[in-house]
Chain A
């Protein structure tokens, strides 16, 4: 079973920041949080991952709370092309498997 909880859907205005929350209260100390997104009928696309510290790359920022029980993915300036299902995944520490939950469907609106 997935170890994360995400809201099923969110809307965001084009050009605004999209903040996608994720709860992972049972995360272990050495388990990473990964974010992927899936645009309709395509394979998932890697966005970002982190362990403890906040992370930023060209696509997004990842903010992880100090207790590591939740995180937020931030798309700083959402575009229509960012409309997708966003998956927050806690990677299994032993096997490295990615077990997908239901994700959050982000709809970016003009």
Chain B
């Protein structure tokens, strides 16, 4: 159980285009989902927290107009990288947490999406 999927697993796009990444919890309902990104040889950096039916909360330094997050259902969150540029090339990883107990519920991660912007 507790499987999180992401689609696509990798994407290559031209500079200036927008890219949408989907994150799904397959066997549980996720009231909260998180988006991270990871540059080569670095650790994961939390970008934003999304709660189903409400606006996402972004970490300091993350542009909310560039990284649009939608969490329209309890099993799906999407991250749209708008007007992507080469510096947005990264490994984007989502995670999902079932339930409402923020302090104790385990968070499960998706396999990640490799974005390359040419």
Contact = CB atoms under 8 A, between A and B. Distances in A.
Interface in A11-39: 30-32, 34, 36, 38
A92 to B, nearest CB: 8
B91 interface: yes
Chain B contact residues, majority secondary structure: strand
Interface stretch (B12-20, B75-83, B99-107): B99-107
Instruction: Determine the interface band of chain A, counting residues with CB < 8 A from chain B.
Output: 20 to 34
Chain A contact residues, majority secondary structure: loop
Interface in B4-56: 4, 6, 32, 34, 36, 43-46, 49
Interface stretch (A64-72, A75-83, A97-105): A97-105
Interface of A: 30-32, 34, 36, 38, 41-46, 49, 87, 91, 93-103
